[in-house]
Amino acid sequence: MGEKAQKSIGYAMIPILSIFALGASQGGVNAGLNTMAMAFPEAGPNIGYVVSMVALGMIPAGFLSGAITGKYVKYRTTIIIAIICYLISGCFPFFMNEGSSFVALMVSRFIFGVAVGWSYPLANALTFKLIADPEKRANWMGIGFAFFNIGTIFMEFAGGYLALVSWQACFLVYLIGIIPLVLVIAMLKEPATDAEQEAELAAEAGVEADTKVPFVVFLYCILLTLGVAFAMPTILYASMIASMSFGLDAGAAGLILSVMTVVGMLCGLTMGPVFKLIGKWIVPVGGIWLGLFYCGCGYFASTGALIPWLICFYVGHWGFVAIINGTGNWLTNLVPVGAATKTMGIYTAFHQLGCFVATPASTLLVGVLGLASGAGAAMMVDYVGLMIPASIIVVIIGVLTAILTAFTKKRESRA
């Protein structure tokens, strides 16, 4: 690829990368959860749905966005509408008064999730449609994941300071959506539809156009859902483990999670080079890597060894990035460009399903393994004891992914 073509792709990717950054919107208001819990005492432990309701909204949105965009509505049009909905629904709680309905907050968060879930898979789809070379595409999708984490860093940092003003103010962090809105309007060119692009490539290759999503895509997505669901407990309960095992306060635990986000950004930048090195094996390697290092997290948390725990926590996170980003990238090597948008919508929906079911999956393990004592508000959960069993399941999922990968052949490129 010539220098001019590379610059052209770099320019075209600017608005797409800004859409990737919007995908990191679930945790932007985490810092305000404590004050929200006081403002909505009727919510009780359900206050956590302020975050997870976004994932619930993203699940149907991913399916619908992939099925509709480029077929019934233009890419630019649907992305602009989604970002406007992102701004309105994201900032809506800022205008809620004390004593407002918790249900209204949940509705706004669900709509916000729909907006995020509608736009985010299109960033992956547009990258797929723009870049035919698998290795260059892997590199750019890795950069996209890095931008996802950059968005997370900014939102958590800004949301934390805004939460000092009020729980309502922390929702103003979503005004960041103005930036991608301007970039999309000014810079994003309307691409050919999947069907048009596929027909052109098929005609050049002298074969029939293909717009079907292969069944193997769903198998990889199911394994992605399970991997994310059972890996998430280590991340979800990291602050509790930091307190229970190492006696760290909330500030130190928050710093640990912030550093993890930076690690995630750096890991994203490795996806292209690693894919070039090991190709399709990036997903099973990521899963096994993640499970083994998170087993280490469980062991060192139980012994109170902070530094080894941190090493396992951060080094293991590369595997988490690999199964998420690697799955999305690998799927682009299995499907025709005629199914690009549908496939990325399916991938996003299954990814978010994993995030959403992480909590019930953890609850199931706690019950099966007898890791809870007491009842009601006095219930105590052994989160440290949860880590190794959950991580062993992740290793098993990684092995199953390796078996599936061994029987999966890469689709021949017609670009």
Structure tokens at 323: 């199964």
The predicted-structure confidence for 239-248, as pLDDT tens digits, reads as follows: 677 777 888 7
The helix (H) or strand (E) run that includes residue 218 is helix 215-236
| DSSP 8-state class, residue 193 | P
Question: Over 60: is that where the pLDDT of 377 sits?
Answer: no
pLDDT score of 35: 79
Which value, to the nearest 10 degrees, does the dihedral of the CA atoms of residues 62, 364, 302, 285 take?
A: -40
Q: Are 360 and 49 in contact (CB under 8 A)?
A: no
pLDDT digits (tens, 9 = 90+) for 276-308: 999 999 999 999 999 999 999 889 988 989 999
Determine the Cα–Cα distance for residues 16 and 180; give it in Å rounded to an integer. Answer: 8
pTM to 2 decimal places: 0.90
Write out pLDDT tens, residues 158-204: 887 888 888 899 999 999 999 999 999 999 999 999 999 989 988 88
Mean pLDDT of the chain: 88
Q: How many CA atoms lie within 13 A of 108 on its CB side?
A: 20
Question: What is the rounded distance in angstroms from the CA atom of residue 296 to the CA atom of residue 262?
Answer: 21
Contact 59, 120 (CB under 8 A): no
Q: Which domains does the chain have, with CATH numbers?
A: 1-191 (1.20.1250.20), 199-415 (1.20.1250.20)
Q: What is the token pair recorded at 326?
A: 């690697």
Please report the pLDDT score of residue 45 as a whole number. 67
Which of 358, 191, 394 shows the shortest CA–CA distance to 285?
394
Of 108, 119, 100, whose CA–CA distance to 42 is shortest?
100
Q: Which of 244, 125, 111, 248 is nearest to 171 (CA)?
A: 111
pLDDT in tens, 326-360: 999 999 999 999 999 999 999 999 999 998 888 78
